[in-house]
């Protein structure tokens, strides 16, 4: 005959507190990485957590005044998946998603457009600066 244990809630609470210790704001939005004077990268992640547990006190047929034996367990798992990077350059913020690789040539071209536009803009700015000198 099984009876609900008073130990199981304590086990679950302990597991949840350990998960809280592992997680903080820096897990989702990471610590900024200063690459240069005008470039900072901030990682952004998605977190998935699962946990569960079970257990019971086993009632002995012989009541010898001792506490009933308890059997149980608790388990947890956590997965951190990068989803994007915030790129802060010269006061402008751009989000670069971490996506699966492009399957077609058209997808690759679309992915390259923002970087290509930045390079073109930098090229014209450098020519403008040279002309002013």
Domain ranges of the chain: 2-98, 100-133
Q: What spatial distance separates the first Cα and last Cα of the chain, rounded to whole Å? A: 91
Q: How confident is the model at residue 1, as a pLDDT? A: 44
Q: How confident is the model at residue 41, as a pLDDT? A: 92
pTM above 0.75, yes or no: no
Query: Is pLDDT of 2 > 50?
Result: no
Q: What angle do CA 121, 98, 93 make, to 5 degrees?
A: 40
Q: What is the average pLDDT across 70-92?
A: 85
What is the distance between the alpha carbons of residues 101 and 108, in angstroms, rounded to a whole number? 8
Per residue in 38-71, pLDDT tens?
Answer: 899 999 888 888 878 777 777 767 666 666 677 7
Neighbouring residues of 11: CB distance < 8 A, sequence distance ≥ 6: 53, 55, 72, 73, 74
Neighbouring residues of 34: CB distance < 8 A, sequence distance ≥ 6: 40
3-state class of 96 per DSSP? strand
């Amino acid at each position: 005959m099984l009876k609900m244990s008073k130990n199981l809630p304590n086990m679950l609470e302990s597991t949840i507190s350990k998960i809280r210790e592992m997680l903080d704001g820096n897990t989702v939005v990471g610590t900024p990485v200063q690459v240069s004077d005008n470039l900072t990268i901030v990682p952004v992640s998605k977190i998935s957590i699962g946990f569960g547990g079970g257990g019971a006190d086993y009632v002995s047929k012989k009541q010898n005044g001792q506490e009933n034996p308890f059997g149980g367990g608790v388990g947890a798992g956590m997965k951190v998946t990068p989803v994007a990077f915030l790129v802060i350059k010269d006061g402008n913020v751009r989000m670069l998603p971490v996506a699966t690789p492009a399957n077609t040539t058209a997808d690759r071209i679309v992915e390259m457009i923002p970087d290509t536009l930045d390079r073109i803009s930098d090229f014209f700015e450098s020519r403008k600066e040279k002309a002013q000198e």
